[in-house]
């Protein structure tokens, strides 16, 4: 059943010299539909629009020397001032390799806050004085080198939008919980039952819902232990704490 909601849209402002990169990706799929349906309001601001010189210069050579250019304070600060006028309650997040790791918890806080200003840099980075005065937090997508902050900004937007009411269908809320629950997903299968000699695990065809749930839980634990020992250790600690709270009775599951 369709439920009518009059939720305030999630409001994101992206400051970037490549707004077309953001707009191209953000007009497609789940995110694009959320924008069309008025659940997400996305704006871009191009710091080039705030330059005063004939070449619309947004970068300069680094003081102290060295290779690579640095984004200038003037145009970026003016762009951020415009972003703050449009989005006064938002934190300013600078996407940066020096940032704290972006993770589900940050996406959740952002979705609850309802607004965000994302600053995507290019070149070697931005003048430190912008970080000192205009930036609230720095987030990194991980330990690998990208060419700029636009793709990280899109990743953040995607992760946040899926947490907003109405953006996903029925699969949504349950799915959002599963990552916070701390285990990776179990394997999935669809028709046919057999293809090129590969069969769907028999338990999934059994109709035994208890056995299926137990198999999926065991698979989720196995894949987490193998692929992500860090998540596995955290999950085991969490299970042990839950066991103690229940006085050693029960298996630590939620139901
Ligand atoms: C190879 C260049 N590096 C010099 C030692 C520094 C560097 C500067 C600018 C590396 C990458 C970038 C551009 N990256 C981002 O803007 C970025 C990013 C990333 O590269 N990896 C993970 N997360 C992020 S968030 C923004």
Q: Give the predicted TM-score (pTM) of the model.
A: 0.93
Distance 90 CA to ligand 1 centre (A): 24
- Measure the N-to-C terminal CA separation of the chain; round to a whole number of Å: 26
Q: Convert the pLDDT of each residue in 126-135 to its tens digit.
A: 999 999 999 9
Please say which residue of 104, 133, 161 terminates a domain: 161
Which residues have any ligand 1 atom within 6 Å of their CB? 95-97, 121, 124-125, 140-142, 144-149, 152
CATH number, position 230: 1.10.1270.20
Instruction: Give me the number of domains the chain comprises.
Output: 2
Domain identity same for 155 and 183: no
Owning domain of residue 24:
10-161
Domain identity same for 141 and 188: no
pLDDT category of residue 174 using cuts at 50, 70 and 90: very low
Ligand 1: which of 97, 125, 128, 142 to mutate, most ligand atoms within 8 Å of CB? 97
| All residues at 6 or more sequence positions from 139 whose CB lies less than 8 Å from its CB, including other chains | 93, 94, 95, 96, 99, 100, 101, 102, 106, 152, 156
Residue 124 alpha carbon, nearest atom of ligand 1: 8
Ligand 1: which of 140, 142, 145 to mutate, most ligand atoms within 8 Å of CB? 145
Q: Convert the pLDDT of each residue in 11-65 to its tens digit.
A: 999 999 999 999 999 999 999 999 999 999 999 999 999 999 999 999 999 999 9
CATH number, position 75: 3.40.1280.10
Residue 3 lies in a domain: no
């Amino acid at each position: 059943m369709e439920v009518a909601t009059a939720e305030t849209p999630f409001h994101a402002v992206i400051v970037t010299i490549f707004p077309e990169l953001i707009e191209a990706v953000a007009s497609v799929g789940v995110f694009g539909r959320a924008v069309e349906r008025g659940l997400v309001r996305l704006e871009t601001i191009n710091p080039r629009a705030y330059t005063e010189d004939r070449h619309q210069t947004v970068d300069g050579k680094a003081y102290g020397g060295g290779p690579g250019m640095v984004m200038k304070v003037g145009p970026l600060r003016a762009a951020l001032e415009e972003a703050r006028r449009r989005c006064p309650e938002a934190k300013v997040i600078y996407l940066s390799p020096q940032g704290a790791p972006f993770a589900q918890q940050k996406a959740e806080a952002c979705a609850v806050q309802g607004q965000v200003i994302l600053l995507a840099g290019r070149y070697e980075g931005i003048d430190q004085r912008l970080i000192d005065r205009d930036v609230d937090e720095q987030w990194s997508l991980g330990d690998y080198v990208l060419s700029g902050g636009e793709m990280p900004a899109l990743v953040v937007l995607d992760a946040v939008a899926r947490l907003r009411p109405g953006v996903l269908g029925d699969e949504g809320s349950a799915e959002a919980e599963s990552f916070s629950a701390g285990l990776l997903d179990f394997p999935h299968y669809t028709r046919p039952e057999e293809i090129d000699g590969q069969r769907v695990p028999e338990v999934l065809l059994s109709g035994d819902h208890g056995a299926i749930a137990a198999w999926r839980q065991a698979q989720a634990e196995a894949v987490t232990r193998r692929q992500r020992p860090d998540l596995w250790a955290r999950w085991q600690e969490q299970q042990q704490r839950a066991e103690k709270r229940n006085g050693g009775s029960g298996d630590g599951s939620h139901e």
